[in-house]
């Protein structure tokens, strides 16, 4: 039995695959201890010898809410303010008073030790053991729960970090060392990532231990990483920073797997939930980056490149001081929620979809939750008067503003990186994704949309389809003349040996491990690199990607900055269930009713269908609305939806 578990702010989603069947359900999340909801759901599933794969938000929330452990930062003397200074980049270019993110560690919790290793990895000033012992006693006395140590050039020589870790851990304080977390140059990003790891480590260790204690005999627990792979719960307790984008990564991996089954390898994923929308690009494989930020804090571990915007079903629509209509990033959340939920008093995107009758008030969450259509009417009338428009114009205006925000997000991960959206398929999931996907596709000229079965719990499904993946890296800083293939491959071989050893701990023999090699390359004088697959024609590979991203190439010398190895252990995949074959016409039992639905200022008579009753080969002409337990899909006029053998809706969009 395979169980995927994805923890969300309101619900914890479960996908259970057993005997060729899929079962989905939701349990109310328990924010005080998210593990309680996970255990409750696992107990409801029952059974033994279960493979549980979990996407967790514990590390993410600890950083965003600044609720991690009391953490000390240890570095070279004179560099104690490294985290506070950070980078000089102005991300808000036109703000008169730009503000930096609040650091995870206060200035008084940063400590410097009198030691130094130079840029060649040589010890210039040795570390005093007595100084470290005195610091350990101070940290213990002041109640520190965790420590992060990051010395200059420790990725070349970890001797000092190893000594500090050994001494301080004897006092009972766990230590995260930068040479183990990110053995790469750029001291600020390396230190920041190590601090994030230390900051969330005690909470994550406690969380995972609680789950392990409540598993049944024969159960195994693996956790989704931000890089799209899963690892053992034991490894997560030591390096929790690798799970900071755990949940969204599961959805991208699921889209990649399902997309290949349906014959599509170039995808733009679109995950629209209640408070935000996550988008990512898959060109054969998911795009991975080491330049992510969480709450403004750099995290330099490999993560799937996911761009997030504050536009979801619960995003609030307002009229700003200039009289313009805005949507988000503020959200109504689960409580009070949208107006139609019964408590809220601010119009949201969900309310606009309901006003346009694109949501059926009697079919929300499979009919378990009724939406109050009459309650939203006075709010729409009042706001439309302020803008001098009609309530229907307000509803469509809100939806168009929300779509524009999401369209910009998709352009960030496509157009701005040298990709044309029309060459891709839009793969949509999340509770609200199906309501907006076809409209987005039309404006971006994307001709095809895929909506998988059970889109509202899709990230949990993605987790059970993931492989075990581990990433390894080392900064080398070699100019082109010195970067011989022999030298580079010698370093890669060392990384591969380490990868194979650690994958054996995950239960894979050396023959079962797939090893992929990469290099971070740049032109001499550039500040940032491009990661390219390693080959002996490294310059050629680099310039191809450089031209795609920036539109030009140089005759300048290149530098190999960092080498990377990715180890993949293929897991046993469940057989995805298929749906029965039907004709083009949907069966009578799939038809629900007809309603007037708002499209481009017109109320069009629109058929509603039950998705669970549709068969493979069924074809539905737009306009139409398809309802299911976890989501609703809108097929606009001039678009057509077809059901494929796996139950996916393939929507052909008229892009004009």
In the block, which residue shows the tokens 């995805």? 576
Q: What is the pLDDT of residues 460-489, one digit of tens each?
A: 999 999 999 999 999 999 999 999 999 999
Which pLDDT does position 242 carry in this prediction? 94
The per-residue DSSP string of 387-429 comes to: HTS-HHHHHHHHHHHHHHHHHHHHHHHTGGGT--GGGSEEEEE
Mapped onto helix, strand or coil, the DSSP state of residue 285 is strand
User: Looking at the predicted structure, is the pLDDT value of residue 9 above 70?
Assistant: no
**Rounded Cα–Cα distance for residues 8 and 60 (Å):** 11
Residue 24 contacts residue 630 (beta carbons within 8 Å): yes
- Give me Rg for the CA atoms of the chain: 26
CA distances, 264 to each of 256, 259, 285, 644, 650 (Å): 9, 5, 11, 13, 11
Which pLDDT does position 576 carry in this prediction? 81
Residue 544 CB partners (closer than 8 Å, separation 6+) = none
Which element (helix H / strand E) includes 43? helix 34-45
Note the CATH number of domain 71-205: 3.40.50
Q: What is the pLDDT of residues 621-630, one digit of tens each?
A: 989 999 998 8
Summarize the chain as % helix, strand, coil (round to 5): 35, 30, 35
CA distances, 623 to each of 219, 595, 603, 611, 626 (Å): 47, 11, 11, 15, 10
User: Looking at the predicted structure, is the pLDDT value of residue 334 above 70?
Assistant: no
Strands 110-113 and 71-76: parallel
Q: What is the pLDDT of residues 493-504, one digit of tens each?
A: 999 999 999 999
For 367, which DSSP code?
A: G
Q: Give which of 395, 452, 54 is closest to 223, Cα–Cα.
A: 54
Q: Give which of 80, 67, 82, 77 is closest to 32, Cα–Cα.
A: 67
Q: Which tokens is 52 given?
A: 């549980």
User: Looking at the predicted structure, is the pLDDT value of residue 440 above 70?
Assistant: yes
For 365, which DSSP code?
A: G
Mean pLDDT, residues 636-643: 96
The per-residue DSSP string of 127-163 comes to: PPHHHHHHHHHHHHHTT--EEEE--TTTTT--HHHHH
Mean pLDDT, rounded, of the chain: 92
CATH assignment of 245-461+645-656, among 3.40.630.10, 3.50.50.60, 2.40.50.140, 3.30.420.40 = 3.30.420.40
**Rounded Cα–Cα distance for residues 464 and 45 (Å):** 16
468-569: CATH topology: Dna Ligase; domain 1 (3.30.1490)
Which pLDDT does position 314 carry in this prediction? 86
Mean pLDDT, residues 307-317: 86
Which element (helix H / strand E) includes 476? strand 468-479
Q: What is the pLDDT of residues 28-69, one digit of tens each?
A: 888 788 899 999 999 999 888 899 999 988 888 888 888 999
Mapped onto helix, strand or coil, the DSSP state of residue 447 is coil
Mean pLDDT, residues 10-20: 84
Question: pLDDT-based confidence at 557, cuts 50/70/90?
Answer: very high
**Rounded Cα–Cα distance for residues 229 and 62 (Å):** 22
Q: Which residues pair with 635 in a beta bridge?
A: 624
Q: Which tokens is 119 given?
A: 């840029």
Mapped onto helix, strand or coil, the DSSP state of residue 183 is coil
How many Cβ atoms sit within 10 Å of the Cβ of residue 313? Answer: 27
Q: What is the pLDDT of residues 250-285, one digit of tens each?
A: 999 999 999 998 889 999 999 988 778 899 999 999
User: Looking at the predicted structure, is the pLDDT value of residue 248 above 90?
Assistant: no
CA distances, 536 to each of 519, 522, 539, 561, 591 (Å): 11, 16, 9, 16, 59
pTM: 0.88
Q: What is the pLDDT of residues 112-123, one digit of tens each?
A: 999 999 999 999
CA distances, 656 to each of 46, 398, 434, 440, 446 (Å): 51, 24, 21, 13, 11
Q: What is the pLDDT of residues 596-616, one digit of tens each?
A: 999 999 999 999 999 999 999
Q: Is 297 exposed, middle or buried (0-12, 13-18, 19+ CB in 10 A)?
A: buried
For 242, which DSSP code?
A: G
Residues 271, 312, 54: CA angle, nearest 5 degrees = 45
Which element (helix H / strand E) includes 281? strand 277-283
């Amino acid at each position: 039995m395979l169980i995927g578990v994805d923890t969300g702010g309101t619900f914890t989603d479960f996908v259970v695959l057993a005997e060729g069947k899929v079962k989905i359900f939701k349990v109310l999340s328990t924010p005080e201890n998210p593990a309680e909801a996970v255990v409750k759901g696992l107990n409801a599933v029952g059974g033994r010898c279960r493979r549980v794969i979990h996407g967790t938000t514990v590390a993410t929330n600890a950083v965003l809410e600044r609720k991690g452990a009391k953490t000390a930062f240890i570095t070279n003397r004179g560099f104690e303010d490294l985290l506070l200074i950070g980078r000089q980049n102005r991300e808000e270019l036109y703000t008169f008073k730009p503000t930096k993110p609040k650091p995870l560690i206060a200035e008084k919790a940063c400590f410097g030790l009198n030691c130094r290793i130079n840029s060649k990895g040589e010890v210039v000033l040795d570390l005093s053991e007595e100084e470290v012992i005195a610091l350990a006693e101070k940290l213990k006395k002041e109640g520190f729960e965790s420590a992060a140590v990051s010395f200059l050039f420790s990725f070349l020589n970890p001797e000092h970090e190893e000594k500090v870790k050994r001494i301080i851990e004897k006092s009972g304080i766990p230590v995260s060392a930068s040479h183990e977390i990110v053995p790469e140059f750029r001291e600020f990003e390396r230190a920041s990532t190590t601090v994030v790891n230390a900051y969330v480590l005690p909470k994550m260790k406690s969380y995972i231990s609680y789950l392990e204690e409540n598993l049944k005999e024969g159960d195994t627990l693996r956790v989704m990483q931000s890089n799209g792979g899963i690892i053992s719960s034991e490894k997560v307790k030591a390096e929790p920073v690798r799970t900071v984008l755990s949940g969204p990564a599961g959805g991208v991996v699921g889209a990649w797997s399902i997309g290949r089954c349906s014959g599509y390898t170039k995808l733009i994923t679109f995950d629209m939930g209640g408070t935000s929308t996550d988008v990512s690009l898959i060109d054969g494989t998911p795009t991975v980056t080491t330049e992510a930020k969480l709450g403004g804090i750099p995290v330099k571990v490999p993560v799937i490149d996911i761009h997030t915007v504050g536009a979801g079903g619960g995003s609030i629509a307002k009229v700003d001081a200039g009289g313009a209509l805005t949507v988000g990033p503020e959200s109504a959340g689960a409580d009070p929620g949208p107006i139609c939920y019964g408590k809220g008093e601010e119009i949201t995107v969900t309310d606009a979809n309901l006003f346009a009758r694109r949501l059926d008030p009697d079919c929300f969450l499979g009919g378990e939750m009724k939406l109050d259509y009459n309650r939203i009417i006075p709010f729409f009338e009042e706001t439309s008067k302020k803008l001098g428009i009609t309530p229907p114009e307000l509803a469509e205006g809100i939806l168009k503003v929300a779509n524009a925000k999401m369209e910009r997000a998709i352009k960030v991960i496509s157009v701005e990186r040298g990709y044309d959206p029309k060459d891709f398929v839009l793969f949509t999931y999340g509770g609200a994704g199906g309501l907006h996907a076809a409209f987005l596709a039309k404006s971006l000229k994307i001709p095809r949309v895929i909506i998988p079965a059970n889109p509202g719990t899709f990230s949990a499904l993605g987790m059970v389809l993931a492989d075990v993946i581990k990433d390894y890296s080392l900064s080398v800083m070699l100019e082109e003349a010195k970067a011989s293939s022999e030298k580079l491959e010698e370093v890669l071989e060392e990384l591969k040996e380490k990868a194979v050893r650690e994958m054996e701990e995950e239960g894979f023999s050396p023959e079962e491990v797939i090893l992929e090699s990469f290099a971070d390359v740049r032109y001499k004088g550039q500040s940032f690199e491009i990661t390219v697959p390693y080959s002996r024609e490294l310059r050629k590979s680099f310039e191809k990607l450089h031209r795609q991203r920036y539109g030009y190439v140089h005759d300048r010398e290149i530098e190999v900055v960092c080498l990377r190895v990715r180890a993949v252990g293929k897991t046993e995949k469940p057989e995805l269930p298929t749906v029965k074959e039907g004709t083009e016409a949907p069966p009578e039992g799939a038809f629900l009713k007809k309603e007037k639905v708002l499209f481009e200022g017109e109320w069009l008579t629109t058929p509603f269908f039950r998705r669970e009753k549709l068969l493979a080969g069924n074809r539905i002409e737009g306009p139409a609305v398809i309802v299911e337990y976890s989501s609703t899909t809108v097929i606009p006029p001039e678009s057509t939806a077809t059901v494929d053998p796996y139950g996916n809706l393939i929507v052909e969009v008229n892009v004009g």
